[in-house]
Structure 1
Amino acid sequence: MSHSTMRQTACGLAYWDNGEQQGNTYVLLHGISSGAGLWAKQFASQAGQHRLIAWDAPGYGDSVALASATPTAADYARALKALVEEAELGSFTLVGHSLGALMASAYASLYPEDVSRLVLASVAQGYGQTTAEQQQQVYEKRPSLLAKLGPEGMARERGPFLLGQPTPSNMMLVTQAMQRLNLEGFTAASYLLAYDSIDYYLPAIHDSIDVIYGEDDGITPPAGMQALQQRYARIRLHAVPQAGHLLYVDQPQAFDEVVFGQMQQGTKENNT
C-alpha cells in the first residue's frame, strides 16, 4: 500500500501506518473477509492530513493468531489495546467496518478513555442472540467456502456481492485482500461473528456513535442499521448512495466526508 509503512508490534500484530504527525489519529479495523490493504483509498486521500493506522486483525495477513480459537470481540479488543499502547497513540477515532465494527464496539466499551469518537460502518451485529442452529451455520459457512475455493476463488465468487461498484480496480483490491486470508484466523473470526453480539457492548458506550451504511448493501442491509438505531438512540445514521457492503471502497469520498469531516458531496444523513 502506498502512503504507508507496514509495521509489526512486539506481540506480532502487523499494521499499516502512514506516520502522519499532524491532524488527528484514526485506527481502522477491517471486516471478516478483508484486511488492512482494503483501506488503500483512505490512505491515499488522507496523506498529509491525518495519521491512519490499519491493522491486520489477529490471524490475518502477517498478524499472529489469537491464543483462543473461540474468541469474543473482547479478545480482539485486548489485542488492539496492546498495539495502541506500544504505538503510544493516546486518544483516537476508532473506525470499524463489518465484523470490525463489533471489535470496535468491544474496544470502546472496555477502553472508553482511548476512544474520542466511534464510527461503525456496515455493521455486522453478530449472531450471539440467535438459535444454536443458526450460529453453527454462520460459524461453518465462510471457512468451508475458503477451504473449498481458496482465496482467489472466494474473491471471484464473493467479491461482486461485497461491492456496489464491482469495477476491475475495486475487484483487484478485494482479491488482493482475500489472497492474504489465513484459514485459522478466518475460522476464529467466524466464531466471533456466530457467537458474539454487538448488543453485549453498545449499552456500555454512552457517547454518540456514527453508523455509516451503503444503500445497496446486501450483506448488512439498511434495515439492520435502522433497527440498530432504534435500539440505541445515540446512533447517528449516514446513508451512502450507490454503495454496497464495502462502501469505503465503492464511494470513498462519501465515506471520507463522514469519517474525516471533509467537505465533499455524496453522503446524506438520516437521524430520524
Structure 2
Amino acid sequence: MPLSTHSAMRQTACGLSYWDNGERQGDVYVLLHGISSGAGLWAKQFASQAGKNRLIAWDAPGYGDSVALASATPSAADYARALKALVDEAGLPAFTLVGHSLGALMASAYASRYPEDVSRLVLASVAQGYGKTSAEQQRQVYEKRPRLLEALGPEGMAQERGPFLLGQATPENMLMVTQAMKRLRLEGFKASSYLLAHDSIDDYLSAIRGDIEVLYGAEDGITPPAGMQALQQTYPRMKLQAVPQAGHLLYVDQPALFDRLVFDHAKQDQKESNT
C-alpha cells in the first residue's frame, strides 16, 4: 500500500526525509516508526487521514533517505535533537507525538526535553530499552538485528521477522513490512540498535509531567502486554489501551481501531467538554 498520492516526501536542510500529507485542517500528528521500519509503514494512517488531519512521518536518521546521526553510539536524546530540527524547520504548532516501539523511546526523550511542542503523547508497543541490564545482554541486543540484516538482506529479514511482528500476517501486511525493510540501511540500523541496547525509557518518562497514553497489541510477542502493564505500575498516570487481534505492528494489524484511538481523541474530548 503506497502512501496517499496527496502526500509528499520532503527533506530538511540538514538532510532528514519525511512524509507530509500537507493537510491544512484538523490537528497535527508526528509519527515515529520502530527499529525495523520506516515512514512508509504508516501508509494506512496516511490514507485514512487524508482530508482530516496533518500527518508527518519521518525516516529516522540513517533510515531511508535520511542522513545518519553524527554519532554511531547515540542516546534517545540525540534522536530528539534531530527531530527538533525537523519540527522547527517545518514550523509546526504544538502536535500529538506518536511513537511506535523504538520510536516510543525517541518520543519520550522528545517530550521530556521539549514539552512545549507536545500537546499529547501516545506511545505504542513500547520498547523500553536495555540500558539498565547487564553488559552482556546489552551486547547481545546491539548485535542481534544488524547481524540478521547482514546475513539475510532486507527481503530475507522481512520474511523471517514479519510474521513475528504482525498479528495479521496477510499478504498485504507482509508486503508493507517487506517494502519498509527494503529501505533499511546498515549504518542507521546499527545506531538504533545501539540506542535500544544502551538507553532506557525510564531516563525520560520520569521527567514527563502530563498524561501518557500507551497502546499495545494483545498478541504482541515483541513488547508483550505484561511489559506494558509493568510499565504502568512504575508510572501510574499512564493510560493503557489493549488493541485486540493485533501484534507488535498494531497500527498495521488493526488500523481502524488504532486510528479511532489516536485520531478521534480530539473529537471525543470536545464532545465530553460540551456535555
The two structures have a TM-score, normalised by structure 2, of 0.95
Match in the other structure for 2:20:
17
Q: How many angstroms apart in 1 are the aligned matches of 2:260 and 2:237?
A: 20
TM-fit CA distance, 1:262: 6.4
Matches within 5 A, 1:109-148: 109-148=112-151
* Preserved contact between residue 256 and residue 262 of structure 1 (Cα < 8 Å): no
Matches within 5 A, 1:168-187: 168-187=171-190
Matches within 5 A, 1:81-100: 81-100=84-103
Match in the other structure for 1:53:
56
TM-fit CA distance, 1:258: 1.1
- Is 1:209 the counterpart of 2:212? The answer is yes
Matches within 5 A, 1:3-82: 3-82=6-85
TM-fit CA distance, 1:95: 0.1
2:206 is paired with a residue whose SS is helix
Q: Which amino acid aligns with 2:138?
A: Q
Work out the percentage of aligned pairs sharing the same amino acid.
81
Which consecutive residues of structure 2, in runs of 5 or more, have no partner in the other structure? 267-275
* Deviation >6 Å, runs of 4+: none
Q: Which amino acid aligns with 1:105?
A: S
- Any idea what the Cα deviations from partners look like across 1:79-111, whole Å, max 9, x if unmatched? 000000000002000000000000000000000
Q: Which amino acid aligns with 2:243?
A: V
Q: How many angstroms apart in 2 are the aligned matches of 1:207 and 1:84?
A: 20
Q: How many angstroms apart in 1 are the aligned matches of 2:155 and 2:253?
A: 20
Q: How many angstroms apart in 1 are the aligned matches of 2:200 and 2:225?
A: 18
TM-fit CA distance, 1:235: 0.4
TM-fit CA distance, 1:75: 0.1
Q: How many angstroms apart in 2 are the aligned matches of 1:13 and 1:256?
A: 26
Q: How many angstroms apart in 1 are the aligned matches of 2:23 and 2:233?
A: 37
Match in the other structure for 1:268:
none
TM-fit CA distance, 1:44: 0.4
Q: How many angstroms apart in 2 are the aligned matches of 1:170 and 1:238?
A: 22
Q: Which amino acid aligns with 1:101?
A: A
Q: How many angstroms apart in 2 are the aligned matches of 1:226 and 1:4?
A: 36
Q: How many angstroms apart in 2 are the aligned matches of 1:16 and 1:197?
A: 28
Query: Relative to structure 1, is the Cα distance of residues 159 and 114 closer, same or farther in structure 2, using a 3 angstrom cutoff?
Result: same
- Is 1:156 the counterpart of 2:159? The answer is yes
Q: How many angstroms apart in 2 are the aligned matches of 1:56 and 1:28?
A: 10
- Any idea what the Cα deviations from partners look like across 1:225-254, whole Å, max 9, x if unmatched? 000111001100000000000000000011
- Is 1:226 the counterpart of 2:216? The answer is no
Which consecutive residues of structure 1, in runs of 5 or more, have no partner in the other structure? 264-272
Give me the CA root mean square deviation: 0.9
Match in the other structure for 1:269:
none
- Any idea what the Cα deviations from partners look like across 1:48-67, whole Å, max 9, x if unmatched? 00000000000000000000
2:119 is paired with a residue whose SS is strand
Match in the other structure for 1:256:
259
Q: How many angstroms apart in 2 are the aligned matches of 1:75 and 1:65?
A: 11
The two structures have a TM-score, normalised by structure 1, of 0.96
- Is 1:101 the counterpart of 2:104? The answer is yes
2:99 is paired with a residue whose SS is strand
Q: How many angstroms apart in 2 are the aligned matches of 1:157 and 1:256?
A: 28
- Any idea what the Cα deviations from partners look like across 1:185-232, whole Å, max 9, x if unmatched? 000000000000000000000100100000000000000000011100
TM-fit CA distance, 1:257: 1.2
Match in the other structure for 2:246:
243
1:105 is paired with a residue whose SS is helix
In the comparison of the two structures, how many residue pairs are matched?
263
